[in-house]
Structure 1
Amino acid sequence: MAQAQIGLIGLGTMGAALALNIAEKGFPIAVWNRTTEVTHRFAETAGELAPRVIATDTLEALVQAITPPRAIILMVPAGEAVDAQLDALAPLLGPDDLVIDAGNADFHDTNRRDEAGLPFRFLGMGVSGGEEGARHGPAIMGGGEAADWDRVAPVMTAIAARADDGTPCAARMGDAGAGHFVKMVHNGIEYADMQMIAEVYGLMRDGMGLEAQAISDIFARWNEGTLSSYLIEISAKVTAARDPHTGAAMPDVILDRAGQKGTGRWTAIEAQHLSAPIPVIEAAVMARNVSARLDERQAGQARFGAAPGPLSLEADALEQALIAGKILCYAQGFTMIAGASERFGWTLDLPQIARVWRAGCIIRSTMLNDMADALADDPARNLIMAPFFADLIERAIPALRQVVSQGIAAGHALPALASGLMWFDMMRTARGTANMIQAQRDFFGAHGFQRLDGIDDSHGPWGRQA
């Protein structure tokens, strides 16, 4: 007898947390995992939520346990595993049943699956917030037809995080892969935000000689102001933590080699296809790649000497630099999303995206409230030109310039902060230097150029010389 209102496949860390969240919000859920023992262990440890969890041993049993028309969430690794699961479900589901890919999928794969003519309905859904978010309230970015989203919206809005005004952080972004695209850009911004925080941490540790607890106190103070955000909050906690084995500050015993699952890299790659300049995100991806080259970095220090030198900076200057860097990074991310909206015909709602990101996700931040307001006022305007943020940038850019210039002069690596500053300087320069590039292109390839004076002559004299 069908009992569940929704099903879920894949009881890894995120899948298990999401299933418990759904059950806790009052929705009976049927679950299945490829390993039967995992399915039964999950049900046995569900505690008071166990009456709302239906553990099934086969896909057929999972499908039979869900009230039709069925909705089934996939929480399996992106790529081939999703395709295999869709193939396995195809003979078991009807044309009105709905499968929701809630993994970290490449939006191109979601587009492909949407266009493939699956024998059931299909949604792509970005879920952000890690295990904690999945369990207690993630940010949810849906992609697919509006009618399909509306079917599951009561569940998704119920389990989503709530912003301070009570609004659920769950919404349909647009058709096909729109939800996974927005989640991808979210992850790119996440890379950049983390990298800028790490750069400022390095300046405090290596340039200013501060101990971890002092750095933690500074992060905690910043979290009470403009920079209030999840990442600043946990940075304060990370730097305050002590290693239970040695008693040392926890960051001091961690190898400086950052891992990645690829979504930041996808953002950088897709930005090139869209001709969208996102230098802060690209710098953050580069920095993670360089961090993995530990042997080469050690050889570099042995050959050229330890780079970072002492600095004379105040914590307030670092705070302002981080404020400026954050605004510049988010402005680049929203511009990229706007470019994708035009390219793919998605009509992405930028203010709504900012509102969805306000809670539950890794990049949640108080600043996103003001970003949502600024984007609602004029979605076509670059965020740095919105009056509220233009004023913030005007006040913060001198500090960013001071931090970057002093840091670079002393040998500190600041790829993300420096990239943000360089982009800002290009964006405020009405006449740059690309005229030289156009002259060079015309010289060696006769590519032509536009003139400032309007004369109808698009080539230079070099090609006419004997």
Structure 2
Amino acid sequence: MKLADIGVTGLAVMGANLARNFARNGYTVALHNRSQEKTDALMDAHGSEGDFVPTSTLEELVASLQRPRRVLIMVKAGNPVDQVIDQLVPLLEEGDIVIDAGNSHFEDTRRREAHLAEKGLHFVGVGVSGGEEGALNGPSIMPGGSRESYDSLGPMLETIAADYEGDPCCHWVGTDGAGHFVKMVHNGIEYADMQVIGECFNLLRGAAGIEPAEQAKIFEEWNSTELESYLIEITARVLAHEDARTGKPLVDVVVDAAGQKGTGRWTVVSGLEVGSPVSAIAESVFARALSSQADVRAAAREAFGGDITPDVSEGDKDAFIEDVRQALYATKLVSYAQGIDMLQLAAKQYGWDLDIAKIASLWRAGCIIRAELLDTIMKAYAEDAQPVSLLLADEFRASLEKALPAWRRIVAHAATTGIPAPVMASSLAYFDALRAGRLPAALTQGLRDLFGAHTYLRIDAEGSFHTNWSGDLTEVVGVDTH
């Protein structure tokens, strides 16, 4: 029997499509699923696409693989991954590679990598973006794990990855959980990007009375500007779609409660842990949570009213649309800037050598946040003198200066009209906080010192200080004991 190059266990849509992608690219793929029906279904429907080796048990799967064995797990994140690992490990030998291509939490990946390393096995957490279509035709791939494991596995992953002008959207990201961390941040940026697009939709309709079909044309036009991206492209498609049952725009018959699978929330929690202010991503996660509070929303609407009357005149519409476009682009830049800041702070905390230019290159094709601006991001971070923030890269700095008046007008218009724009508004606040000469943090430190003796620093002297607030108000050199 011909030994397989790689084995895939977990043949739901993503796992099946990755297996087919490997086979279409000339690799022999061993197949396994807990229920035999999925294996049989894949063989019946797609067995002619390449060389497959169907197996019934994990023992058969492992026995069908050439050494070093490469086993890709594509099951639900969490305990199911651990369960498969526990069954696999006794069947493997030193040097074999276990790959988790699901949306696992990076801390789980770090734990698993350390555990398997003790047994002489490689564990590789791989971030995969692009959905079902990407898994089949070429996703963006973000592998972590040891460099040694990538030397064996990397060429296979690069072959099945999306291609951007001849470059595969796959590159070794860093050790242990780095791959899944980068994918998590990708998803956080995706959350913010989708939310601010939704805010623009709301503004165009609520303030200017522009209906979905007309908005579809606007977004299609925007996709030929610096906003060119996959999400803008598919926004035009969704807004143009008419519901077959009712004849209404599809967006008017879909329940306005957004779901989430956890990666956006993980990004926000991790941002707090590494001290990165990912406010745009956080507001997008909160917006999804609020959208699902149907009872509270209904009660508030009954108590305070919720009707919005368009107030942009016909003669001002074109200018308003352009303002929204500029505000969208500025906000989009902030979400990317916050994601990159988080990656850089996490690299210091977890000991990763993250190459921002390389990471940006992985996102240029195959993934959900692919966009024209990633080329510019890549170039900015490929220079020896990298910007301390993406917003200070020369081209983006010029774009922000140009967009700032429109950004302010749109955030103000949203507030006065009563149209929620949390990501757009928080991103503007983040930008203003970055450029402020003095922040109110000085008052915060004074308050903390008064109620908790936490001390403060001075701008004109070294060391920490404490004011004797309950006594004679004299200042002493302080030691924070809290």
CA distance in 1, matches of 2:461, 2:52: 72
The residue aligned with 1:288 is: 288
1:311 to partner: Cα distance:
3.8
User: Is residue 2:87 matched to residue 1:88?
Assistant: yes
Structure 2 matches for 1:50-129, cutoff 5 A?
Answer: 51-116=50-115, 117-118=118-119, 120-129=121-130
The residue aligned with 1:365 is: 371
User: Is residue 2:320 matched to residue 1:330?
Assistant: no
The residue aligned with 1:14 is: 14
CA distance in 2, matches of 1:185, 1:109: 16
SS of 2:465's equivalent in the other structure is coil
CA distance in 2, matches of 1:77, 1:177: 17
1:207 to partner: Cα distance:
1.8
Unaligned runs of 5+ in 1: none
Report the TM-score, using the length of structure 2 for normalisation.
Answer: 0.94
SS of 1:430's equivalent in the other structure is coil
Residue identity opposite 2:425 in structure 1: A
CA distance in 1, matches of 2:303, 2:290: 17
CA shift digits 1:42-63 (9 cap, x unpaired):
11100531x4111111111111
1:461 to partner: Cα distance:
5.2
CA distance in 1, matches of 2:181, 2:382: 21
CA shift digits 1:61-102 (9 cap, x unpaired):
111211121101110111100100011011211112111000
Structure 2 matches for 1:236-385, cutoff 5 A?
Answer: 236-306=236-306, 308-312=308-312, 314-377=320-383, 378-379=385-386, 381-385=388-392
CA distance in 1, matches of 2:311, 2:287: 22
Residue identity opposite 2:82 in structure 1: D
Residue identity opposite 1:82 in structure 2: V
The residue aligned with 2:477 is: none
1:459 to partner: Cα distance:
2.2
CA 118–231 in structure 1, closer or farther in 2 if over 3 Å, else same: farther
The residue aligned with 2:478 is: none
CA 28–259 in structure 1, closer or farther in 2 if over 3 Å, else same: same
Percent of aligned pairs with the same amino acid? 44
Unaligned runs of 5+ in 2: 474-482
CA distance in 2, matches of 1:322, 1:87: 47
The residue aligned with 2:163 is: 162
The residue aligned with 2:406 is: 399
CA distance in 2, matches of 1:439, 1:15: 55
User: Is residue 2:188 matched to residue 1:188?
Assistant: yes
CA shift digits 1:153-196 (9 cap, x unpaired):
11111110111x22100011100000000000000000000000
1:288 to partner: Cα distance:
0.4
The residue aligned with 1:235 is: 235
SS of 1:351's equivalent in the other structure is helix
Residue identity opposite 1:127 in structure 2: V
1:284 to partner: Cα distance:
0.2
CA shift digits 1:275-318 (9 cap, x unpaired):
10010000000000001101211111011101534242521111
CA distance in 2, matches of 1:181, 1:311: 44
CA distance in 2, matches of 1:120, 1:188: 31
1:267 to partner: Cα distance:
0.3
CA 41–448 in structure 1, closer or farther in 2 if over 3 Å, else same: same
Instruction: Give the conservation status (yes or no) of the 8 Å contact 2:219–2:236.
Output: yes
The residue aligned with 1:28 is: 28
CA distance in 2, matches of 1:97, 1:47: 26
Instruction: Give the conservation status (yes or no) of the 8 Å contact 2:134–2:367.
Output: yes
Instruction: Give the conservation status (yes or no) of the 8 Å contact 2:387–2:393.
Output: no
SS of 1:174's equivalent in the other structure is coil
SS of 2:34's equivalent in the other structure is coil
1:325 to partner: Cα distance:
0.3
1:249 to partner: Cα distance:
1.0
CA distance in 2, matches of 1:209, 1:33: 51
The residue aligned with 1:408 is: 415
CA distance in 2, matches of 1:120, 1:465: 65
1:444 to partner: Cα distance:
1.0
Residue identity opposite 2:69 in structure 1: R
Instruction: Give the conservation status (yes or no) of the 8 Å contact 1:307–1:412.
Output: no
1:152 to partner: Cα distance:
1.1
The residue aligned with 2:476 is: none
CA distance in 1, matches of 2:386, 2:87: 42
SS of 1:267's equivalent in the other structure is helix
Instruction: Give the conservation status (yes or no) of the 8 Å contact 1:14–1:75.
Output: yes
1:379 to partner: Cα distance:
3.7
CA 80–379 in structure 1, closer or farther in 2 if over 3 Å, else same: farther
